[in-house]
Amino acid sequence: MSHGEPLDPAIPSLCLGTSLCRRQDRSVFVQQPSPKRAKIAAVNTYCDDECDSDDAAARSLYDRLLQYTDIPLSEYRPDSHHLAANMHYPGLRAIHKDPWIFVVSNLLTRYECQQLIIKASMHMTESARDAGRGATHRNSRDCRIARGETMALQSKYSALLNVPIENLEAVKVTRYDHGQLFTNHVDPIADTAAFENRVATLFVYLNTVDNGGETRFLSLPSQRQLEYTVGEKVCCLLNGEGDYPGQITQLNADGTVDVEFDDGDFQPGTPRSELRAYETLSVKPLQGMGVLFFPAFLPSSPFARQFVKQLDRYLVHESCPAIDQKFIHQQWVWPNRAQSHFEGLVTNGVCL
């Protein structure tokens, strides 16, 4: 190990299946990659430590990266409605377009992931729940960590999004034990000032999870045309707060339809204009990998005034039920100084 980081033998190093990986300017040096691994090299990930990787274990981890669509970053055009990602950030990949969803390989090192788990584990409390929604909606535990203990991590995120650190909420760490989940939800919050909200969501998986615990985006656009039949799967605008998945249960004489949502909610008399087809995208937890998307419009965008919580209605998502224990770190970003959760708890004093 090049800098004294503890090694968890249960989690193999993320190397590109070559005999040599070394850290230098966060780049990967690949010696004579086989054709079978040519696409792996294109992932543009990197290895934090000098290591001799276990070839089969490393391949299984990289298979997780290769399952996603790889959209050329040259197609990314920041617009005036969303916060923009730094396209030159090492390891950045686009896995969905319109809305844009990115992953960042090895955004955090194994040591940083382990230290965040240690910091939060002794201070976790039940995660907050939306009014009227109980433990069947969300039953994880989490902790916010003092800003002074995570300045170096937040400096990375500042560079990824070209924003001051003051625009970031305090780092949050969440634990999902067996059976725990967070069903469909949006990230923007209510009662903010000046049409500002959480304009970026960045989360990092702190451990690799083999079973369960995927993050699933539930309301991505689809080219499929609706047939408006009973039992058809649709996304439907619910209370102005995003498009949630469900199915048509009845066609009404006035042209509207009744919709039963996947989480059990029911909405009668829904205009057909509020329905659309949708696609989903699931991301499996891989230690150190970041996932970035933009759940709300910038306050300067006219869309910020049109939608509740300034939200982008295509980014409803959920944390699927955990089978293996999962730790995840969330970081929300604002257009100016964060209006919520600015401070966290002092934990063990180790600075990251």
pTM of the model: 0.83
- Long-range contacts, stretch 21-29, CB < 8 angstroms, 24+ apart: 21/47, 21/49, 21/50, 21/51, 21/53, 22/47, 22/50, 23/47, 23/48, 23/49, 23/50, 26/90, 26/91, 27/90
pLDDT above 70 (res 58) = no
Please calculate the CA angle 76-281-107 and round it to the nearest 5 degrees.
60
Query: Which domains, from first to last, does the chain contain?
Result: 1-67 (no CATH), 73-218+279-333 (2.60.120.620), 225-276 (2.30.30.140)
Tell me if residue 16 falls in helix, strand or coil: coil
Least confident of 56-65, 178-187, 227-236: 56-65
Joined together, the tokens standing for residue 14 give 């993320």
- How far apart, in whole angstroms, are the C-alpha atoms of residue 286 and residue 293? 17
- How far apart, in whole angstroms, are the C-alpha atoms of residue 156 and residue 30? 24
Q: Are 310 and 189 in contact (CB under 8 A)?
A: no
Of the pLDDT bands very low, low, confident and very high (cuts 50, 70, 90), residue 45 is very low
pLDDT digits (tens, 9 = 90+) for 286-344: 999 999 999 999 999 999 998 889 999 899 999 999 999 999 999 999 999 999 999 99
Instruction: Look at 4 and 305; give whichever has higher pLDDT.
Output: 305
Please calculate the CA angle 294-292-348 and round it to the nearest 5 degrees.
115
pLDDT above 80 (res 177) = yes
Report the mean per-residue pLDDT for the chain.
85
pLDDT digits (tens, 9 = 90+) for 65-115: 788 889 999 999 999 999 999 999 999 999 999 999 999 999 999 999 999
